[in-house]
Amino acid sequence: QPDTHVRIVEVGPRDGLQNEKKAIPVATKIELIERLAKTGVSVIEAGSFVSPKWVPQMDNSSQIMEHILTRNIPSPSPITYSFLAPNARGVADATTILQKHQGAYLTQTDAFNGGNGKPMVELAVFAAATESFSQKNLNCDIATSLERFRDVIQGAKQNGIRARAYVSVVLGCPFEGYDVNPHKVAEIATSLLEMGADEISLGDTTGMGTAPRTQELLRCMSAAGIRNEDIAMHFHDTYGQALVNTAVSLERGIRTFDSSVGGLGGCPYSPGATGNVSTENMVYFMESLGMNTGIDLDAMADIGQWITGELGKPNDSVVGKAVLGA
Ligand code: HMG
Ligand code: MG
């Protein structure tokens, strides 16, 4: 890919919806995914195989995965559908569905051989950079979570499935504030890559990240020998710093960014944190720099307006609203 190509991971159907209190009909979630698939995005995070007691909104992720594997969702280019899976139970539930529909999706080997328009599937684990966030989000300490993730990552890879690994609260923690050690983030990321993760997504869960802290974090990642192509940045926009931090990351050579249509999102275990940086803002910003995302901004803005309306909340994308004259 040319250096001007930026890969956007659309996390709206998962990060965007997981924190919504009212149950969202599965038909609405599927409509969201199908509309996003038409915009030119190459990765859609579609659900979570987590405990429904912890995150009730993600309870119908099995149905969503079944739909993706059986309905041949139209898209201009092949899409990778990503699902969170924090433990053996999550990967077992996902694998049961995948095995039932073998041949309906591309394994990593198929994709390397050129693919044929079928979707790819990815499973994602999520570690934390602080012990208190790990306890709140996963009910275990960091070391225990990493042991569990080893099985998830290996389980995914054995089935030819791509594995993503998040590290949360990398630039600020709701419980430990700015006291997050970037060397610790790099150490956790290194362990996850050694287990076989294909990509590390660095989560600024609280949106507390600033330009200098982003710079310092990425410097520590390089110093630990982690390659830019193995890193994605996942900015929440709580303090309005997401695009500034994106600019810093771009300048350092990062080319994968997570964002959410309509700026939806938030983590149920990060009190006060708001949505991800909106995909509309991200695409507009990338285009202004001459970078190519492959995403149709007008189509994305329409989806942001529609889904926020469905959820009965304001459209949080300033670019989305400007594009629509709303
Ligand atoms: P636990 O309570 O310690 O787990 O939770 P357990 O193993 O003791 O099981 C408790 C119950 O949950 C049992 O059911 C299990 O069967 C069930 P019971 O016997 O009581 O009826 N269970 C499951 N059910 C379905 N799927 C599963 C599963 N696992 C256990 N996979 C656990 C541990 C990890 C399960 C829990 O803490 C959990 O589900 N946490 C998920 C929290 C979450 O989803 N957070 C949001 C996503 S992360 C995020 O948003 C950040 C990110 O966006 C990046 C960023 O912004 O930084 C990614
Ligand atoms: Mg998030």
- Write the pLDDT tens digit of every residue in 54-78: 999 999 999 999 999 999 899 999 9
Report which protein residue has its CA nearest ligand 1's atom 30.
51
Close Cβ partners of 195 (under 8 Å, ≥ 6 residues apart): 146, 149, 150, 153, 154, 165
Interval 45-54 mean pLDDT: 97
In terms of DSSP bridges, do strands 80-84 and 43-48 run parallel, antiparallel, or are they unpaired?
parallel
The number of residues making up the chain comes to 326
- pLDDT value of residue 269: 86
- pLDDT value of residue 30: 98
Q: What is the pLDDT of residues 198-228, one digit of tens each?
A: 999 999 999 999 999 999 999 999 999 999 9
Task: Give the Å distance between the CA of 152 and the centre of ligand 1.
Answer: 13
Q: Is the pTM of this model over 0.95?
A: yes
Close Cβ partners of 325 (under 8 Å, ≥ 6 residues apart): none
- pLDDT value of residue 274: 87
Tell me which of 51, 173, 202 to substitute to probe ligand 1's pocket, judged by most ligand atoms within 8 Å of the beta carbon: 51
In which band, very low, low, confident or very high, does the pLDDT at 152 lie, cut at 50, 70 and 90? very high
How far, in Å, CA of 237 to CA of 259, rounded?
Answer: 10
How far, in Å, CA of 196 to CA of 36, rounded?
Answer: 29
Which two three-digit tokens encode residue 41? Answer: 């995005």
Mean pLDDT of the chain: 95
How far, in Å, CA of 116 to CA of 106, rounded?
Answer: 8
Q: How far is CA 197 from CA 8, 94, 156, 227, in A?
A: 18, 17, 10, 13
Interval 171-183 mean pLDDT: 96
In which band, very low, low, confident or very high, does the pLDDT at 110 lie, cut at 50, 70 and 90? confident
In which band, very low, low, confident or very high, does the pLDDT at 326 lie, cut at 50, 70 and 90? confident
> Which among 22, 104, 14 has a CA at the least distance from the CA of 61?
14
Does the structure show a pLDDT above 80 at 2? no
Task: Give the Å distance between the CA of 267 and the centre of ligand 2.
Answer: 6
Q: What is the dihedral of CA 155, 156, 160, 164, to 10 degrees?
A: -150
Interval 120-147 mean pLDDT: 98
- From the CA of 128, give the closest atom in ligand 1: 57
Report which protein residue has its CA nearest ligand 1's atom 15.
51
DSSP for residue 106: B
- From the CA of 203, give the closest atom in ligand 1: 57
The backbone torsions φ and ψ at residue 127, rounded to the nearest 5 degrees and listed phi first, read -90, 170
- pLDDT value of residue 114: 65
- pLDDT value of residue 115: 62
Close Cβ partners of 305 (under 8 Å, ≥ 6 residues apart): 262, 315, 320, 321, 324, 326
End-to-end CA distance of the chain: 35
Active site residues: 267
Rg (C-alpha) for the chain, rounded Å, is 18
How far, in Å, CA of 282 to CA of 259, rounded?
Answer: 7
Does the structure show a pLDDT above 70 at 252? yes
Report which protein residue has its CA nearest ligand 1's atom 50.
267
Ligand 1 cavity residues, CB under 6 Å: 15, 18, 48-51, 53-55, 84, 86-87, 89-90, 93, 126, 137-139, 166, 168, 203, 205, 234, 236, 267, 269
Report which protein residue has its CA nearest ligand 1's atom 42.
137
Does the structure show a pLDDT above 80 at 1? no
Does the structure show a pLDDT above 90 at 117? no
- Across the strands, what pairs with 14? none
Tokens 């594997």: give the residue. 69
Whether the CB-CB separation of 92 and 134 falls below 8 Å is answered with no
- pLDDT value of residue 273: 82
Q: What is the pLDDT of residues 255-264, one digit of tens each?
A: 999 999 999 9
Close Cβ partners of 71 (under 8 Å, ≥ 6 residues apart): none
- pLDDT value of residue 267: 80
The backbone torsions φ and ψ at residue 285, rounded to the nearest 5 degrees and listed phi first, read -65, -45
Q: What share of the chain in percent tops pLDDT 70?
A: 98
